Amino acid sequence: MWIDVEQVVTSPWLYAALVALILSDVYLPVLPSGTTLIVATAYAAANDTTVLPLLLCAAAASVVGDLLAFGVARWGARRIGRMLAVVPRLERADKHLRAMLRARGRRTVLLARFVPAGRGIVTNASGRDPGIGLLAFAGWSAIAAACWATYTVAIGYLNALIFDTGWLAAAVSVVCLLCLGLWFRRSAAAKAIRAAAE
C-alpha cells in the first residue's frame, strides 16, 4: 500500500509530533527534532507542498520550548547552583558560560542552537543568571529559533530541488545537517558550551 506523502506532510499529527520533539529536545537533545523537520521538508518540497507552515511551526515551538526551560531553570536556580558547587570544574565552566551570555548573549544563544545539546545548556545557564532578563532571552531565542528553522528547512528544500525523489533528498539532507553540526562544534563558544556540559 502506497502512502500519500503529501497527506502525511500536511497532517496535523505531523505538526503535533514536530512540536512535541522540538519542545522536548531542550532536555533530551538525542530526540530527532531537526531530522524530523528536515525529512518533512524534503518530502513536502519534493511533492510541491509549501514548506512555510513547517518553518513557522518549528520556529514557534523552539521559542516556546526555550521559554519553558528558562522558567524551570529560574525556578530551580538555587538547587542547580548547589549541585554545580559540588564539582568546582563544573562551577567554573558554568560561570564562564554565564559571563559569555551576559557579554554576547545573542551570539552565544544563536550558536548554541546549532551545537548538539547546546540549546539546553545555554537555556539552563541563562535562566539561572539573575543578570539575564526574560525579555532579553526571549529576543535572543526568537532570533536563534528563526535562524535554526530557516537553516534546517532550507537544507531539506534545496536537496529536494536537487534530487528527484523525496527519500534521497531526505537522506542527503540529514547527512548535511550532521556534517554542519560537527563543523559548528569547532567554534570557541561551542567549546565553552561543551565544557559546561562535561
Higher model confidence: residue 161 or residue 104? 104
Range 155-166 average pLDDT: 72
Q: Report whether pLDDT(135) > 60.
A: yes
Range 151-170 average pLDDT: 73
**Element housing 55 (H / E):** helix 52-75
CA distance 190 to 56: 26
Q: Could you tell me the pLDDT band of residue 144, with boundaries at 50, 70 and 90?
A: very high
Q: Which long-range contacts (CB under 8 A, 24 or more apart) does 24-33 make?
A: 24/65, 25/65, 25/119, 25/120, 26/65, 26/66, 26/68, 26/69, 26/119, 26/120, 26/123, 27/69, 27/120, 29/116, 29/117, 29/119, 29/120, 33/58
Report the share of the chain in percent with pLDDT over 70: 76
Range 158-183 average pLDDT: 64
Range 129-133 average pLDDT: 87
Q: Could you tell me the pLDDT band of residue 2, with boundaries at 50, 70 and 90?
A: very low
CA distance 134 to 122: 14
**pLDDT in the model for residue 1:** 39
Range 55-68 average pLDDT: 94
Q: Report whether pLDDT(51) > 70.
A: yes
Secondary-structure breakdown of the chain: helix, strand, coil percentages, each rounded to the nearest 5: 80, 0, 20
Report angle CA 76, 78, 84 to the nearest 5 degrees: 100
CA distance 197 to 120: 10
Report the share of the chain in percent with pLDDT over 90: 21
CA dihedral for 154, 155, 156, 160, sign (positive or negative): positive
113: nearest Cα among 48, 40, 55, 26: 26
120: nearest Cα among 97, 139, 153, 151: 97
CA dihedral for 104, 107, 109, 115, sign (positive or negative): negative
The label of the residue with cell 545557564 reads 125
Range 32-58 average pLDDT: 84
Name residue 166's amino acid. G
Q: Could you tell me the pLDDT band of residue 183, with boundaries at 50, 70 and 90?
A: low
- Domain locations in the chain? 5-22+33-197
pTM of the model: 0.78
Q: Report whether pLDDT(77) > 70.
A: yes
Q: Report whether pLDDT(6) > 60.
A: no
Mean pLDDT of the chain: 79
